[in-house]
Structure formats: C-alpha cells, structure tokens
Structure 1
Amino acid sequence: MTTEVVKKHMVVAQNASGRNMNVPIYRMKGARPGPTVYIQSSIHGAEVQGNVVIYHLIQRLKQMDICGEIILVPNCNPIGTNIKAGEYTLGRFDPVNGTNWNRGYFFDKEAVQQFAKTVTPEESVAAIKARFRAHLSAAIDKKLAEPWGLGLAQQLNLKLQQLAVNADYVLDLHNGPVSTRHVYIPEYAKQSATLFNIPHCIFIPNVFAGALDEATFCPWWTLQENVKQNLQRDIHFDVEAFTLEMGSQEVINFAEGDIDATSILSYLNAKNVLHECDITPKTMTRLGVYLKDYKTMFTDWGGMVEYIAKPGHPVLKGEPMAQILNIDDLDTDNGSRTLTAPCDLIPILHFPSASVLSGTQLYKVFTNYVEL
C-alpha cells in the first residue's frame, strides 16, 4: 500500500522586507490508529544532513503501512540556514541577540505540578494525556501571545513546539561540527538506546535545559513523578524525545542519509508506528556515557591545529589528540605543541576550523563509557 503525503507551509518569520519565511510541513497519516511522531531537522542552520534523512524517510514511508501519524519538518529554521559568511553558515545563534536557536522552547515546572493535583485516582491514562496536551498547547499559545513580544529564536521554537505538542515520539535531527553519530537519551528512556543504529549514546538527566527534546519529555516526566507522589499511582505516559547527531555539519551525504533513515525506521517500528515492517535494530557495539562523563577538552594555546584524534576512534591516556602550531615561535621548541589525552577516551566531535584561539572547545569526548 502507499501512504499519502500532505504538504502545507507554516510562516516562521518575516525578513527585513516584510516578506514571510515559510517552512514545509509533511504529514503522513495511516489508516490504522497509532502513535504520533514529530521529526524536525536543521534548527541550527549549518546542520543540514537531517534534511536528506527526512527525504529518505518520506520516500520510504510512502510505501509503508503507517499506524498513527508522522509529522516531518525539514529545514525548520530557514533564517539560520541562510546566514552565510563567505563559505560558512553562521546558523547556530540568532545574529541579532546571540540566542542559541535551540534554547527557546517552553517548560513551566510549577504549572505541571499544579496540573498533577487535578489528576484523580480513577482518571484513565488516555484522558490524562488528552487533558494535559490541551493544557500544554494553551500554555504555548499564551507564551506566543506575550504582550511584550519575543525574540526571533523563541518565536520560532514555540511555533515548532506547538507542532510537536501532540506527539508521542519526538526526534530532533542535528549534526556536530566534525562529528561521529551520537544520540542524547533521557535517563528514564535508556532502554530505547539500542533501538537506533547509533554507536554512541549520551544519557542526560530528566531535567530541562532549553532544547526541544527536554521541552518534550520534561513535562511528561514531571507529571508522571508528581502523580506518583500525590496518588501513589505508578503510571507511564510513554512519551519519548531524542536529539540525534548524525555526523558533521555543512555536509549532505545521500548514502549516509539512507543509513540514518533506516535507523529511525527501526526505532519507529519498535514503537508500533509501522505495521508488518521487518526493519529491526542492527547488532552492533553501542557505548553509553552519562552526561557528567561527556567531557569538553579546551586548548590552553592558540594557533593552527592538526586534529590527530578522529571522532569515534578510541584514544589511550597520553596519546596525541592534536598538534598546535604557534606562528610566533617557529624558530623555537615552542613552535609546535602536542595536546595529549588526559585519560582513556573516545573523541565524539572536534572544532571545525584549523585556526583556534586559546580556550577553544577543541574536542568533546566520552570518558568512563560502558558497552550497552
């Protein structure tokens, strides 16, 4: 069977000429009941690989039997994608006020705690979810109507969050600077780590730090914990959200995009989004680390850098990570310095440029990691 794709556009901003900037929204709804899935890409303008992943997903999902609905929003931040400086896309921060494009989502912990007090012992999980989704949607609408106005990044984030508010599963597709595949997973959903074909898993606390995945799961986790505390009722809402990092920014690779689409389909199939689908997670080595052990390595020296340690490849304590050239000391022993690993680690990503200032975040690495 084939599944129809319904495409609409949403205005997310206006440029200085007053012209609307739109993003396409692709909806695919199956004939069978099931979960709602929301997938977006490119909230950071230079992180473009998610767009080709969504392309592959749409092409493949058209030939599948979907249960429920899948909402896909590629290039969800056209402002960021179009902020260029020569060869580079400066799409991580709003250029007007410096706000990270991925930090303007909404979460009100106190309001969730108050809502939890309205849940009764006999109310069904389905009824609670319906009421709570209406509550979240109204809260986002109220925030969007802020009489003093909102910054561009927060306006954009809230409009996207409203699209995702009814989703059971939310996937936010990202890329690192120069990076290997990795995924951020809330600690309560650790069992889902093996459902993606992603080798490096970062387990993050069930708390809000501003990103879309946290804005999705934190309200449900907070509600679940408060209902348990208030009523001694152990309920599960089965809402999950993840940030998937699929390689390096400023790169489109169609073959790699199809691999990541398969990875996402294996997760969706495990969550009963696909009917009679035979896509399952690969047998592979998956390594996990808690966020506290996902370390940032800074350089004390400025200069020109050769990145010796490659993302995804283990490095032993004392082995070289990078060699840094100091232009002012080419005639001395300080003309070249080597940055070594302070412990056994796995580089996950590194800074994209060969020219660095002192204090630059040169690498992000796994330490104290375990096999899942």
Structure 2
Amino acid sequence: MTTQVTNPITQEDIQVGEIANGLPLTIPVYRIKGDGTGPKVYIQANMHGAEVQGNAVIYQLLEQLKHMHLTADITLVPYANPIGCNQKSGEFTLGRFDPITGTNWNRMYQDNSHLVKEFANKHLESDIETIKNEFRQTLISEVDKVLDGPAYAITTGKRIALNLQKLAHQADIVLDLHTGPISSKHLYCPEYAKPSASYFDIPNVLMIPNDFDGAMDEANFCPWWNLTEAFATLGKELPIAVEAFTVELGSQELIDLKEAKHDANSILSYLTYKEAFTDSQYQPKTMQRYVCELKDYIAFYAPMGGMVEYLAPLGSHIKSGEPIANILRMERYLSEQPLQSICLDQDAITILHFASASVNQGTELYKFFTNYELLT
C-alpha cells in the first residue's frame, strides 16, 4: 500500500516596497521542502498585471505538489507584481508598464554578467560544487548591494524586480509565467536548454540567444551561460548550472482553472525530467513542437487604421498570401472599398495578436514564427 504524502506548505509575505500611505507592499511566497537531493526550483507569475493565468497554474501546482515525493525545494510566487495587477482602467487591467516611468515591469532586472571574468579567474582551481555555491552567493550579494544601498536610488519597479531576482538566484530552475494579449502557448528557451523544451506540453518554442534585455529569465541564465564560456576560454569545463524559461500560457485577462491544470501538468513533466520528484508519473504529451529563432519572430504592424477582424487562428500554420485579417474603414463606404484584406508575404505560425479590434496605423497587429522547423 502506498502511503499518502502530505508535504507542508509554508507562506511568507515578503515586503518589496511601500505605497503612498506608508503601508508595506508585500507579495506572498510559498515554499515546499524536498529531501534535499534535487534541484531548487523557483516559479513566479503575474509580473504583468493582466497576465493572471499563471496564478491559477501556481494554485494547481500547489494542489499536486503537496501530495508528491519531492527531491526539490520549490518556491512559488503568485502576484509577483502587486502594483501591476491593481493597475486598472475601467474594466481592463493595464499593468504592463510602470505608470510613473513607462518602463516595462519585466525589463527591470539586473544584469550581473560583469562579475563573470573576475570570478572565473579567481576560481580556476575550484571544484564544480564550490563554483556553483560561490557564484550563486556572489549573484545574491550583488543584488543585496543595490537593495541595501541608498533608498532614493531605486525606483518602485526596480525594487520589486530585485527582491524577486534575489529569490530566483537561489534556484537551479527558474520559470517565469506570462501570457500574451490574445495568444497561443509558447516557450522562450535559451539555446543551450533546447533539449528541455520537449518536456513542456507547448507546441511552439522561441530560441533566444545569450543577450540580456532586462527580463527575469535572462537575469538568471545569462550570468551562468557567460560563466561557462569564461571558464572554457581558461581551459576549464563547467556545465551551465541554471535553466530559466519564460512560459507563455495563453491570453491575458483570463483565468481558466481546467486549462491551468494542463499547464501545471506540463511544468510537472519538465520537473520530472529534471529529477525534482522520486515517483512522478508525469510525462510530456506526444505532439509536434516547432522551434523558431528570435530573429525570425516577426511583428506585423497594421498598415492602416481601422476595425480589425482577425482571421489567422492562434497557433495555426498559414501560407504566404493567405488573408490574416480584414480591416474595416467605414469612413470610406461611399468613396471606395471600405473592407481591406490583409495578407502575409511568407509562411508562418500565428503566435499572438493585439487584444482590441480597434487599431491605429502601426499597431502591432500580430506576431509570427517564420523560418521555423520541427523541434528535434
């Protein structure tokens, strides 16, 4: 008879700032302890205010993790940006950009890759475990330097981001849960972690280079990637110790608990592959997965203003010359053709489109995978 596992879940509310009335700005952090033999895992959701599905996924993960035999220590952070999820305009949630500075909330993390060269030279003779432990602590200390520095030098968004980054730097696996405006599921995957992409139940994979652009996944994998390269130039082999992904779960302004269960199972499949459990039965679904380089992930901007009927289904493979949208311009009804058919001039996979039917000329109407191939 199998003994029922019940793992204790602890909660800590971490202060990440203060709001205008002087009260603390806090986020909930849930932790589940494993037996200490597996990886450390960090999962966060809702950095962008309208991207709420990740909170439902964290709920479904907690519901399952508390009954599993864990080797991994797992930290889960819903509501990662408490300001963003409360940024409302009428019935809509904004929360993609800091309303004070205009900066994308997910572009405020700190690049610590500058630490790599000196660290590699100092630890050329160190063993791999020492290198991992020391470099992890170096990254955390670098974040602490800013958080412990003059309070006047840090914006609201930067303070939130650094507190989250400090948590993430303690992990071997980092998953940042997002959604698009109106979107299909897709995965941002660093080039070295390509084999791992097959363990998520996500059909479209975007391969990203080792270029830091301010996002959570980059803040975590870029320093480790760069450290491996630095040691390689010194003649020492070091496996890349951290995998970090941005997981795009679908569309914003939507909670779907049934779909969240599927998304949680997808993450558990990947974590099974990473040996986070001792007895997991989670396996990736059999599906065709497609991969696209970041340079071939193109935006299609509205060639004219008007009211848009989106024709290209999300996740669909469209052919060159196939209509992707109709744009209605009623001001032209009596003078010329009011309905304009819009096409794409190359084969593509439809990943996401703008949330509104009302667009200005130059609005980012769609994003497409082009020059894609099967993930192998």
TM-score w.r.t. structure 2 length?
A: 0.96
The aligned counterpart of 1:68 is 72
Give CA-to-partner distance per residue, 1:82-102, whole Å, 9 cap, x none. 010011111100001101000
Match among 25, 29, 33 for residue 33 of structure 2: 29
Give CA-to-partner distance per residue, 1:42-96, whole Å, 9 cap, x none. 0001000000000000000000011130000001111000010011111100001
Q: Secondary structure at the match of 1:22?
A: strand
The aligned counterpart of 2:91 is 87
The aligned counterpart of 1:289 is 292
Give CA-to-partner distance per residue, 1:257-288, whole Å, 9 cap, x none. 00000000000010010111111111111011
Q: Secondary structure at the match of 2:106?
A: coil
Give distance in 2, aligned partners of 1:68 and 1:308: 44
Match among 217, 223, 231 for residue 227 of structure 1: 231
Matched, 1:167 2:166: no
Q: Is the 8 A contact 1:38 1:167 kept in 2?
A: yes
Q: Secondary structure at the match of 2:105?
A: coil
Matched, 1:350 2:353: yes
Q: Secondary structure at the match of 2:6?
A: coil
Give distance in 1, aligned partners of 2:350 and 2:178: 17
Matched, 1:4 2:8: yes
Q: Secondary structure at the match of 1:23?
A: strand
Give distance in 2, aligned partners of 1:282 and 1:237: 27
Give distance in 2, aligned partners of 1:40 and 1:114: 31
Q: Is the 8 A contact 1:176 1:247 kept in 2?
A: yes
Match among 274, 278, 285 for residue 275 of structure 1: 278
Worse overlay, 99-108 or 39-48: 99-108
Match among 320, 323, 338 for residue 320 of structure 1: 323
The aligned counterpart of 1:311 is 314
Give CA-to-partner distance per residue, 1:176-208, whole Å, 9 cap, x none. 000000000001111111010100000000121
How far does residue 31 in structure 1 lie from its aligned partner after superposition? 2.5
Structure 1: gaps spanning 5 or more residues:
none
Q: Is the 8 A contact 1:196 1:264 kept in 2?
A: yes
Give distance in 1, aligned partners of 2:359 and 2:23: 38
Give distance in 2, aligned partners of 1:228 and 1:198: 33
Identity across aligned pairs (percent)? 47
The aligned counterpart of 2:104 is 100
Structure 2: gaps spanning 5 or more residues:
none
Give distance in 1, aligned partners of 2:135 and 2:343: 50
The aligned counterpart of 1:20 is 24
User: Residue type matched to 1:251 in 2?
Assistant: L
User: Residue type matched to 2:299 in 1?
Assistant: T
User: Residue type matched to 1:307 in 2?
Assistant: Y
Worse overlay, 208-217 or 4-13: 4-13
How far does residue 2 in structure 1 lie from its aligned partner after superposition? 1.6
Aligned pairs for 1:331-370 (under 5 A) are 331-370=334-373
RMSD: 1.1
How far does residue 109 in structure 1 lie from its aligned partner after superposition? 2.6
The aligned counterpart of 1:265 is 268
Q: Secondary structure at the match of 2:48?
A: coil
Worse overlay, 263-272 or 26-35: 26-35
